[in-house]
Amino acid sequence: MKNKSSPKFVIKKNLQKSVQTGIYFTDQLTQEILRDVCYKITGQNVFETVFVENDYFDQHLQKGYNKGRLAILYYNGTANYVSFSEKEIGGRNSSVQSVPTAYNMFYINEDMDKHIYYYFLNEVGNADTDYQMLIYRLMKTVGFNFLNDLQSLGISILPFNSIEDIIHTRRANAGRNQSNNSTYISKSSINNYEIYGKTYGANKYETSMICYALSHLAAKNQILTLYEVCERDLEELPQSSLDVLQKMNNILVVPTDLSLEKKVFEENNSLRSPRYIFNLYAKLGNKRCAFCNCEIPELVQGAHVLPVAAIKNLPAISIEERVKKATDGDNGIWLCENHHKMFDEGILIINLDGSVGHCGGMEEQNIAFVNEVTVVKQLPPSILTPEFIKYLDMRNRLVG
């Protein structure tokens, strides 16, 4: 009978900046921890461990320091990727920022016989904030197995069942913090989901994981579009994340840098700007008509208070200032298609105190209709910011 080989860990010794911090992965991954990991994955207690230096590489590990806080556990021809949490969990994003990196390495590898795991090492700090729980659930959705979630968090992490499940869960958790989101998910038609995601700095972790999860959950005929809301000059998601999205093959990636928006602004009188939509989400929350509370995402649009055409005619300001006004979250409200048209045509007006009225000279039955469908007669204070009032004042002077 052929002997089965014993499990073997191959682990990069150096973490990012190990030389400066003096913290090495060898110190964090004690034999006791590795035995626990090995037993949970293979059922074996006896194993071999090889810690390797930066210049080492093989089929599963790249040159350089330990990206993704990974250990690779080989057993019976299977490569088990195990990503470890930080020991001390500090800021909102820091504890899970190695997750997309670990997943990227795992996903892009051509080896078919592979699994991915996550192990909580944390001893200091909270590992279960709303933000972290979101990331864990996204991880579970894309195939991570949690080895000690029950012991460490006291609960079993559950995957999302559908894209709508993600949208509803985020809405339920949003509260007042939704302007902190890196990403917003919207639906433009029955089979088209749109993701508006910031890609710079720490935002890229949430945006990457949301995209991966949506890609996993999308039905065959569904099309996903990621609008990358880049800062200043083009700063897209990292190449390794873009490679994963390309391999997933159902997400269209559209970068939206400011120079592109400048061009779109100059050539059009209406602006279909992902940055504008993102900014409206950040200010107003999920799509909901300000005049009738309609929440059907396919019907609700961003409506400018000071129209793009009027911004173009403003005297003596730079093109950058114009684009800023055209994409400002304070220069807009969500309106359903019907109310957008009524607002643009001047049938409905917003007074400076936020009350909603209609124009004069309409026929009796039309006034009755407009009154009936416009259930909101007064906009809430959350919309009526000083900047919003400024845009509204300019609009009303133009119209009046």
Point out which residues bind Zn ion (CB under 5 A).
289, 291-292, 294, 336, 339
Least separation in angstroms between CB 339 and Zn ion: 4
Least separation in angstroms between CB 231 and Zn ion: 33
List of residues 6+ apart from 371 with CB closer than 8 A:
358
Task: Report, in angstroms and rounded to the nearest whole number, the Rg of the chain calculated over CA atoms.
Answer: 26
Residue from 11, 237, 240, 248 nearest 119 by CA: 11
Least separation in angstroms between CB 335 and Zn ion: 6
User: Judged by CB, which is closer to Zn ion: 215, or 301?
Assistant: 301
- Between CA 155 and CA 143 the distance in angstroms is 18
Least separation in angstroms between CB 376 and Zn ion: 9
Residue with tokens 């210049």: 55
Least separation in angstroms between CB 337 and Zn ion: 8
Tokens representing 200 are: 């710079």
User: Judged by CB, which is closer to Zn ion: 15, or 303?
Assistant: 303
Q: Which residues pair with 183 in a beta bridge?
A: 197
User: Judged by CB, which is closer to Zn ion: 96, or 336?
Assistant: 336
User: Judged by CB, which is closer to Zn ion: 292, or 359?
Assistant: 292
Least separation in angstroms between CB 295 and Zn ion: 10
Tokens representing 26 are: 């060898």
- Between CA 209 and CA 159 the distance in angstroms is 13
C-alpha angle 182/216/288, rounded to 5°? Answer: 45
User: Judged by CB, which is closer to Zn ion: 66, or 301?
Assistant: 301
Residue with tokens 């220069």: 331
User: Judged by CB, which is closer to Zn ion: 94, or 338?
Assistant: 338
